[in-house]
Chain A
Amino acid sequence: MDGLKTTLGLTAFGILFGTILGVCLAIGRSYGKRPLPFFIIIYEKILRGIPLLVLLFLLYFGLAQIGIHFDPFAAAVLGLGLRSAAYQAQIFRGSINSIPEGQITAAYSLGMSRLKAIRYVILPQILRFSIPGWSNEFTILLKDTSLAFSIGVIELMRQGRYIQVLAPDLILVVYLLIALIYFILVFSINKIMRLVEKKYQIAGYQAEAHR
């Protein structure tokens, strides 16, 4: 079951990377100075317009061609993270948009610098609002780790493949089991996130419905 550990590892690092980058992108796009939002939009458009598989190939095989080598795991985390960041940026941006203008104005009037205002006033609120969309992205990432198998990462799927070669008759059972494992993971994550959401809810303050 090492594959499982790898899967979880990919997910963890991927989502961490994706979230941090995603938050930066979202803030950069909404509050950044002139050329920054433009570049961020381009980044998002590109990262959301190409399949994850192609991205992984580009990073692992393509870059190797010009001398930049990644080991499969790193390439996978990079690919998953970069892509996830683009999607998460959209989620966070949606949350930012649903925060009333007045919040930042009030922060400024208290003498906060832009950075402080973002850190203490905007960020706490966006993070809470984004929980539903974010947990959705989390499970998507978890499922996408299955694609890392194609650049040689030995995660759950690849282990399945190995077993397939060794015991061809049991294939159906094996994959059903793998499906079950994923399902349990996804299900648990959803349950946990719902609890987290409840715990951190700002009393009475409902977010705009996310799509």
Chain B
Amino acid sequence: MTMLEVKDVYKSYGGVAILKGVSFMMNKDETKVIIGPSGTGKSTLLRCINQLSPPDKGQVWLNGEEITNPQSNINKMREKIGFVFQDFNLFNHLTALRNDSIGREKEKKIEKEAAYKRAMDELTRVGLEAQSGQYPAQLSGGQKQRVGIARALAMDPDLILFDEPTSALDPELIGDVLDVMKSLCGKVAMLVVTHEMGFARNVADEIIFMEGGIIVEQGPPKEMFTNAKMARTREFLGRIGALYGDEEGR
């Protein structure tokens, strides 16, 4: 069964149509990367999936259950979908450890001790066990984002949505975050909106190119980068590829 199914999603803000009928699917543990020019609705799409901004039309299905149904328990569904924000959005008044554990404490009603332990495991996984007692304001951008990823992981999600996770970081800190993300490949499904072409090229199972509120083309990285069917795709990837390079520095 497909894990995630997005069907015909439409979304407008203030009269302006942002998403004009987006549909795609994802399977368990797949990694898909969404690329495209800014302002074409990529972030909006992510927010439609976890209902932070419910779509105007269309449906989203997770593991056979329809999220977009007003009857369904959105909070329960959100526990299965992790979200990593561009601006981190860490809880300022909590330590790194509690940032990651609070989800489990409150939602899954797990004992504090067990929640802390799990949070600690995740923090260790992202390499920040030494920072567990620090507050967000005391952490660097890269560290903050990794805490954010750990926070999402601590909930045992089926899918993690990444909304331009490295766009707010200094160049030298981007690498750490991307490494963490790479290590998650194949272990949890990831839907990533990013401009990091190297990551897209080397890590994604499929690349989705969006522009103007619709999916222009999608396919495996190899195909998209070397042999894209649509001219616009070739144009975009060519330009961006030259600008950002890819990981290997080629």
Q: Do chains A and B touch in the complex (CB under 8 A)?
A: no
Interface of B toward A, CB cutoff 8 Å: none
Interface of A toward B, CB cutoff 8 Å: none
